[in-house]
Structure 1
Amino acid sequence: MDTSLKSTLHKRGLRMTPQRQLVLDAVRELGHATPEQICTKVQAAAPAVNITTVYRTLDLLEELGLVRHTHLGHGAPNYSEREHQHVHLVCHRCGAVTEAPTDLMEQLAERLQTSSGFELDVTHVALSGRCRNCLEADDVEENA
């Protein structure tokens, strides 16, 4: 059992439930996952848990600062543990998601701060483009 989750919930007058622990465990195991993927993982251990419970639990865990969501394009958000700090690279052709270090965004963050006073959260960024495999496949198709 996650004692930090139990302690955080207790401080807010909430109780630790098996469902809350299962959702947090699923997020940790899956790395980046949609609520539906998390629900499937949770239901493997507790078939009675439904998607509504998963969504409510994810909202609570995010409010507690234990998980965060990122929109990686169209569709449902992806959830991950709070300490994951990277930029998401999303291939709009095949849907692959890879990670890049946040320091790649430092110049953009500094420029936005200077020019508009906007502070960019570089850990909550998804960039859309084409992955190496899709680019190589496109080159093969063009040269065929």
Structure 2
Amino acid sequence: MPDELADRLRGSGYRLTPQRQLILRAVEDLHHATPDEVLAHVRAQASAVNASTVYRTLEVLEELGLVRHAHLSDRAPTYHSTREPEHIHLVCRKCQRVRSVEPEVATALVATLSRDHGFEIDLGHLAVFGHCVECTQGDTP
């Protein structure tokens, strides 16, 4: 990935820096992470990185198509690598667990919205909120 990262950065007028490499690696290692989680992961390796560097770098990496974000809570966006297959996020409101599922589970919804409303869904940003089976079973007497 360092060569691809370097090529994309240079092609857009940016330099490849150790901080950018660390931040992209952190997103890939964590799979789904907020900027604060990325910062904590990066600081474990390079304490000189600050929060503003993480936020700016995540914006650049998203602009270059290397990471994407989704809103999985009412707080900061959550980032994931575009090297992962496209997926939909299922977010449990009780335990906050995030499960990734293949986009094919939404085939009927995608087709209906396209056909009836002329609307194309960006599945990489799709988060469906509800309750996971573990939390639902815990509520039954």
Q: Shorter-chain TM-score category?
A: over 0.9
CA distance in 2, matches of 1:118, 1:83: 26
Identity percentage over the alignment? 46
Deviations 1:91-138 (A, max 9, x none): 011111111111011110110111111101223210000011101100
CA distance in 1, matches of 2:29, 2:15: 23
d(CA) in 2 for partners of 1:119 and 1:2? 33
Report the Cα distance in structure 2 between the residues aligned to 1:108 and 1:86, rounded to whole angstroms: 15
Given that residues 68 and 79 in structure 1 are in contact (C-alpha distance below 8 angstroms), is that contact kept between their aligned partners in structure 2? yes
Question: Partner letter of residue 116 of structure 2?
Answer: S
Gaps of 5+ in 1: none
Instruction: Work out the CA distance in 2 between the residues paired with 1:9 and 1:79.
Output: 19
Deviation (angstroms), 1:73: 2.6
> Partner residue of 1:22?
22
For residues 11-90 of structure 1, what are the structure 2 equivalents within 5 Å?
A: 11-84=11-84, 85-90=86-91
CA contact (8 A) 2:62 2:68 kept: yes
How high is the TM-score relative to the length of structure 2?
0.95
For the Cα contact (< 8 Å) 1:109–1:122, is it kept in 2?
no
Partner SS, residue 80 of structure 1:
strand
Q: How many residues align?
A: 140
Cα distance between partner residues in 1 of 2:83 and 2:25: 15
Q: Partner of 1:118 in structure 2?
A: 119
User: In the alignment, what sits opposite 1:92?
Assistant: 93
Instruction: State the distance in 2 between where 1:103 and 1:134 align.
Output: 25
Structure of higher CA gyration radius: 1
- For 1:8, the aligned partner's letter is R
Residues in 2 aligned to 1:13 and 1:75: alpha-carbon distance in whole angstroms: 31
TM-score, normalised with respect to structure 1:
0.93
Task: Please identify runs of 4+ aligned residues in structure 1 that moved more than 6 A.
Answer: none
The answer on 1:7 being equivalent to 2:7 is yes
Give RMSD over aligned pairs: 1.1
Give 1:112's aligned amino acid.
Answer: L
